[in-house]
Structure 1
Amino acid sequence: MADTVASTSQFILDQVGGAENVASLSHCATRLRFQLVDRAKADVDAIDANADVMGVVPQGDNGLQVIMGGGVADYYAGIMRAPGMGESGGAAAESGKKEYGGVRGRYSWVDYGFEFLSDTFRPVLWALLGASLIITLLVLADTFNIQPFSPEEGETLPPSWQFMHAMWRSVFYFLPVMIGATAARKLGANEWVGAAIPAALLTPEFLALKDTAQVTTGATEQVQIYTTEVFGLPMVLNDYAGQVFPPLFAAVVLFWVEKGLKKLIPAAVQMVFVPFFSLLIMIPVTAFVVGPFGIGLGNGISNMLLAVNDFSPFILAIIVPLIYPFMVPLGLHWPLNAIMIQNIATLGYDFIQGPMGAWNFACFGVVTGVMVVSMREGNTQMRQVSAGGMFAGLFGGISEPSLYGVLLRFRKSYVRLLPGCFAGGVVMGLFNVKAKAFVFTSLLTMPAFEPLGGYAIGIAVAFFTSFLLVVFFDYRTAAERDQVRAELAAQRGDEEPAAGPAAPAAAAGAAAAPAGEPGAVLTLEKVVVAAPMEGEVLALDQVPDPAFAAGKVGLGAAIDPAGDTVVAPAAGKVMVAFPTGHAIGLKLDGGVQLLIHIGVDTVNMEGRGFELLVAKGDRVQPGTPLVRFDRAAIEAAGYSPVTPVLVTNHRKFAGVDVVAEGGRVAAGDALLEVRPTPPEA
């Protein structure tokens, strides 16, 4: 396992352009997050084709997310150990720049804004996950009356239980400090100054200002406004514990303050005077202006959603799960997470998390269905991807492995996802589900929602609606499904029972299969595979597809076709015949399994320009026409006609050699030689 992680880590680093092309590297719960000097140098297709990679998502102008699943930290560590990689990545380490170097002009402000939010919350994710499970335990203790109260002490908790509450409250109370640090770091400002600014508003001295403050009534009688005079100016005193907008805006202002100070202060004394003046300026600015503005903005957004909820919780409960599948891939969900935390801090409950659970469990239902379908097909790779997404979702509330591993890779999966989101949202709306604490929506955090029964029914409806749609109707288009099944069949076709009359030898020099069982055993002599079409022979690494070029599908050669017909290269059986006609799988007598893939990405043509001439199970002889195709149609559609001819079960043989003489072959000329594995002594 360690060797696999190390080799995959080095592979990813090589494909992104090496350490010198990495401006910065970080990771979240599932993704490696690269900021590259030049993303054009990264081979995205090659990375995506790697079996250990769940998906690749470009971000902004030079960002690249590589989805690795739950073991992402191991791959991150493997890359960081590579020569040339420093604490913040190769290029950044060599230049001495901070992690991101501040706001850069090559980002559009919209892209950078959402990237800023995403990368600010990402490092805090682990602490939030841990705290949310501690909250769940305490909610369970309260639900089952395990958590005691002490009426004689004024309804206060015993010390042990108070300490338990301190364990989770530490994360949420000091969340502004964490957000201040991560936001400042993202922008390129000093992260510890970014943390110190909101921390000043949580100190006992700042909180004590309320003791001498003037109290007035706000727009509603439940809201009291505390105002005191500082430096002769009125300061509104807010409760900043658990707030996220004030430290976010403070970090933005800090970036510009630091930038200006560095222009005015000599470099030799910047380490002392830049943080000194930054704190001297930013703490008052935050307390007087930025903090109240941030709280006002958060309250405004929350009140707008609350107004929709008050008008019709049913409508809001349907809207939220239907928009989340489109918001999460773009990072647009982070502002809503901030509103959820804001709601808990101000209202004591949140009305977004319950409906959001419908999206999450519909998502988990899709990947669980994919796991079942993959087990039926024997698709090991998708089974592993979907199982990882299922467990991360059901027990951790993390949707990224499901989203990037399945949903964004197969466009039809959204057709299975959205009905689950809608059905679950309807149930959430009927029960008007609310969250009592900010948690990640998983099976373990169910007690944080009320009514618990309504929430349980809602997530069950969402889960099983999407799960059953996938199990019964699949998650791929017909072309995608047929291609995957053909490749799987090509890999395990030697295990399928063969039937039919005795067959002749596979090719010149090949041993005949036992009578009544053509192809049931592997030949003990070499097998010569003829060219299935006329054209120019190319090395496999010249195929314009990273999976074929790297030999991941099989070993062999490619042909740039000159004719319009694919013929059988030897006697055998049609193992897979794609309805689209773009590829065909054969099991040659003697045990060689052959995949002939006409063109690259031609599955997208959905059969246009192809005529399938045989059916699955047909016996073929050398020269039997298999497929007729139109090269001009392939090129007009924007695809390469280069045709890989691959031995897919090459691991059962000693080797596969290209034996074609010269650059051009005719159909029937020798193309490949498959060397047998010597029998055991």
Structure 2
Amino acid sequence: MAAQATSLKQTSEFILEKVGGAENVASLSHCATRLRFQLFDQSKADQAALDANPEVLGVVPQGTTGLQVVMGGAVANYYQELVRMPGMGEKDENSASSKKQYSGVRGKYSKVDYCFEFLSDTFRPILWALLGASLIITLLVLFDTFGLAKFPTGPEAGDQFAALPAGFQLMHAMWKSVFYFLPIMVGATAARKLGANEWVGAAIPAAFLTPDFLAIGNKGDVVQVFGASLVLNDYGGQVFPPLIAAIGLFWVEKGLKKIIPSSIQMVFVPFFSLLVMIPATAFVLGPFGIGVGNGITSLLTAVNGFSPFILAIIIPCLYPFLVPLGLHWPLNAIMIQNIAVLGYDFIQGPMGAWNFACFGVVTGVFITSLMERNTAMRQVSFGGMMAGLLGGISEPSLYGVLLRFRKSYIRLLAGCVAGGIVMGIFDVKAHAFVFTSLLTIPAMSPYYGYAIGIAVAFFTSMTLVILFDYRTKDEKAEVLAQLAAAREQEEEAKTPLVAAAATPTAETAAKENAVAVAEETVKTALQPGAVSFVSAPLDGEIVPLSEVPDPIFATAKLGKGVAIKPTGTQVVAPAAGTVIAVQKSGHAVGLRLDNGIELLVHVGIDTVQLGGEGFEVHVARKQRVEAGDVLITFEPKFIESKGYNLITPVLVTNTTKFAEVEGVAEGVATTSTEVIKTTA
């Protein structure tokens, strides 16, 4: 657990650094899989470095200031770690003290970008509640399938519900609460996104769900309100009226703030906002929002009525292009609208073909990575596969695989078309809003047609990936070459290293004999309970590793140890061992000591940029060294004149093999001073 916590913190620190630091973050939020940054300057974000981190599944710029960092199912843990970091607490969009409240729409976004961002960020916070409700619906549908309790549908739903045992009625209340009161949630999140007060945004649609409003009359009735005719509507489960009302609230609040003194705004801005917005929504904005939703529903219904088969193919082929841009949320809103108006939805079933084609691609990648022994892609694809099959979440697959290897889209679209054809043949419909996973199959009708459709989509895409791969020839060749090189290095690390032989002289024979003796030496530092010490490889002042102005070193991501501010000009071997890595630039050297400790000495920060100037290398990789042998010499004055910090991390890179690694010296050290203690 401690190791996981450390990794979480280190990765979070890395992400914050690569987006430009806390000072470059305007706001931070997250969805089911993505950290969503709004940055003051998007160009300061090192997107390539973020994408190269194995913990990051993908990086997606959004508009001119947004950046999405895809972390998968554990995104909330990274988010919580980030908002605890210095300077980040006030960037939390969900914080009650967020500066976004009453701040208004920021002009830095393009209008089109902001419209879709508005929809996305409105529904994103509600995602958890919708996921939970969808699985409760699935349970109830399963109970109906096995004859345990009827799932009320159609014109007789009221009588069927009344006949249910109280326990099942309670279970129906669990999911209906989310959808019936959805307008309140949407009102709150939409208002918060726009910069209006979220609780006033929630109160406006809540007024139309109270018993007092419902008692005025039935849906479609016309009643007189202070001499004006009001057509009553059913607002339960609606999404467009609260969205439009939140936009109206933003402008009303903005106007009120200009004319009401700031000292009394807390009382009178919400008072007049409610006084204006609830009637305005009841008479104008609410009916208009219902009309918008009904209009879009009618259009899609007409297409579905003309040919459910054609619609079932179009929908799964659209989603692969809508989801990466965040443009799928309007369709999700229409699904909820369809269920509220029609009692069923005809989008979710075909959408399942896209989801399972996506999961089929990533499963094919998982199988391929097992055959190639590609650990990195195996981890990414397995996470995406499980998040998809069990949770119905496609983003880890999309950003971890599909958008990184564009050829995979060909395999994906083939599965979408094949699955969509089957969905069209069976005319699959959903009677409740659910997320398309293996667990929610019973929520579709006919469920067997849906099951066949998603199976066809899944296995079509998976088979194509296994047979024809998901990469171009060049991409595959590059990956296979990297894997082969990595395996070669692993084998070399396991194979005893011998110094380069010259002519067979007495001196050479002596060296070979010394190497053979070293190879037979037991790695004492790795023996259980063994305590070993490492001497300083250079003279200088000992400082804690945390003072190194580089988060990768400071957070011990590469290993624990100490840092040294050099007072000398050379790096020497602290004990007998073998050189396992040495940079041509001369700024770093790696040693495997005979006692089993692996050591990295990194002279300065970012000194690789000097390209070797100011450094001289005295050893080569695989070379045998003894204690005190000079490894590198450097010119401190020259290096510092170029603006580089000479602080030198000295790290035990195989820290994980020890129970404890700690610095044990303070002040000035020489090459005879023991500075690191390891305990196996």
Alignment equivalent of 2:290, drawn from 292, 295, 312: 295
The change in CA–CA distance for 1:93 and 1:465 in structure 2 (over 3 A counts) is closer
The change in CA–CA distance for 1:592 and 1:183 in structure 2 (over 3 A counts) is same
Counterpart amino acid of residue 317 in structure 1? A
For residues 267 and 315 of structure 1, the distance between their equivalents in structure 2, rounded to whole angstroms, comes to 57
1:594 Cα deviation (Å)?
11
The change in CA–CA distance for 1:255 and 1:281 in structure 2 (over 3 A counts) is same
Q: Which residue of 2 aligns with 1:160?
A: 167
Q: Is the 8 A contact 1:321 1:425 kept in 2?
A: yes
Match of 1:225, SS state, is coil
Query: What are the residue-to-residue correspondences of 1:49-128 with 2, within 5 Å?
Result: 49-89=52-92, 97-98=99-100, 101-128=103-130
1:311 Cα deviation (Å)?
0.5
For residues 106 and 404 of structure 2, the distance between their equivalents in structure 1, rounded to whole angstroms, comes to 30
Query: What are the residue-to-residue correspondences of 1:298-309 with 2, within 5 Å?
Result: 298-309=293-304
Q: Is the 8 A contact 2:123 2:189 kept in 1?
A: yes
Q: Is the 8 A contact 1:124 1:178 kept in 2?
A: yes
Q: Is the 8 A contact 2:579 2:591 kept in 1?
A: no
Q: Is the 8 A contact 1:351 1:434 kept in 2?
A: yes
Alignment equivalent of 1:225, drawn from 203, 220, 238: 220
Q: Which residue of 1 aligns with 2:483?
A: 488
Query: What are the residue-to-residue correspondences of 1:342-381 with 2, within 5 Å?
Result: 342-381=337-376
1:64-96 alpha-carbon deviations (Å, 9 max, x no partner): 111111111111111111112224349x99996
Alignment equivalent of 1:423, drawn from 403, 415, 418: 418
1:647 Cα deviation (Å)?
9.5
For residues 507 and 345 of structure 1, the distance between their equivalents in structure 2, rounded to whole angstroms, comes to 81
Q: Is 1:136 aligned to 2:131, yes or no? A: no
The change in CA–CA distance for 1:317 and 1:346 in structure 2 (over 3 A counts) is same
For residues 145 and 135 of structure 2, the distance between their equivalents in structure 1, rounded to whole angstroms, comes to 15
For residues 652 and 594 of structure 1, the distance between their equivalents in structure 2, rounded to whole angstroms, comes to 17
Q: Is the 8 A contact 2:588 2:600 kept in 1?
A: no
1:605-643 alpha-carbon deviations (Å, 9 max, x no partner): xxxxxxxxxxxxxxxxxxxxxxxxxxxxxxxxxxxxx9x
The change in CA–CA distance for 1:677 and 1:240 in structure 2 (over 3 A counts) is farther
For residues 438 and 171 of structure 1, the distance between their equivalents in structure 2, rounded to whole angstroms, comes to 11
- The CA RMSD measured in Å over matched residues stands at 4.1
1:158 Cα deviation (Å)?
2.3
Q: Which residue of 1 aligns with 2:547?
A: none
Q: Is 1:319 aligned to 2:314, yes or no? A: yes
1:45-73 alpha-carbon deviations (Å, 9 max, x no partner): 22222121111111122111111111111
Q: Is the 8 A contact 1:30 1:67 kept in 2?
A: yes
Counterpart amino acid of residue 98 in structure 1? K
Query: What are the residue-to-residue correspondences of 1:466-505 with 2, within 5 Å?
Result: 466-494=461-489
Match of 1:250, SS state, is helix
Query: What are the residue-to-residue correspondences of 1:375-394 with 2, within 5 Å?
Result: 375-394=370-389
Between stretches 252-261 and 157-166, larger displacement belongs to 157-166
Q: Which residue of 2 aligns with 1:27?
A: 30
Q: Which residue of 2 aligns with 1:272?
A: 267
The change in CA–CA distance for 1:649 and 1:23 in structure 2 (over 3 A counts) is farther
The change in CA–CA distance for 1:169 and 1:94 in structure 2 (over 3 A counts) is closer
Instruction: List gaps (5 residues or longer) in structure 1.
Output: 212-223, 515-520, 525-545, 554-589, 597-641
Aligned residue pairs total 555
Query: What are the residue-to-residue correspondences of 1:168-567 with 2, within 5 Å?
Result: 168-210=175-217, 225-494=220-489, 506=500
Match of 1:104, SS state, is coil
Match of 1:106, SS state, is coil
Counterpart amino acid of residue 120 in structure 2? S
1:430 Cα deviation (Å)?
0.7
Match of 2:433, SS state, is coil
1:447 Cα deviation (Å)?
0.4
For residues 430 and 591 of structure 2, the distance between their equivalents in structure 1, rounded to whole angstroms, comes to 52
Match of 2:209, SS state, is coil
Counterpart amino acid of residue 178 in structure 1? M
For residues 511 and 344 of structure 1, the distance between their equivalents in structure 2, rounded to whole angstroms, comes to 85
1:100-151 alpha-carbon deviations (Å, 9 max, x no partner): 9322222111100000000000000000000000000001111211016999
For residues 507 and 43 of structure 1, the distance between their equivalents in structure 2, rounded to whole angstroms, comes to 45
For residues 149 and 327 of structure 1, the distance between their equivalents in structure 2, rounded to whole angstroms, comes to 33
Counterpart amino acid of residue 452 in structure 2? I
Report percent identity of matched pairs. 66
For residues 192 and 273 of structure 1, the distance between their equivalents in structure 2, rounded to whole angstroms, comes to 15
For residues 259 and 461 of structure 1, the distance between their equivalents in structure 2, rounded to whole angstroms, comes to 53
For residues 169 and 258 of structure 2, the distance between their equivalents in structure 1, rounded to whole angstroms, comes to 49
For residues 506 and 477 of structure 1, the distance between their equivalents in structure 2, rounded to whole angstroms, comes to 40
Q: Is the 8 A contact 1:349 1:436 kept in 2?
A: yes
Counterpart amino acid of residue 119 in structure 1? D
Q: Which residue of 1 aligns with 2:641?
A: none
The change in CA–CA distance for 1:403 and 1:507 in structure 2 (over 3 A counts) is farther
Instruction: List gaps (5 residues or longer) in structure 2.
Output: 513-517, 522-550, 559-577, 628-677
Match of 2:35, SS state, is strand
Between stretches 124-133 and 37-46, larger displacement belongs to 37-46
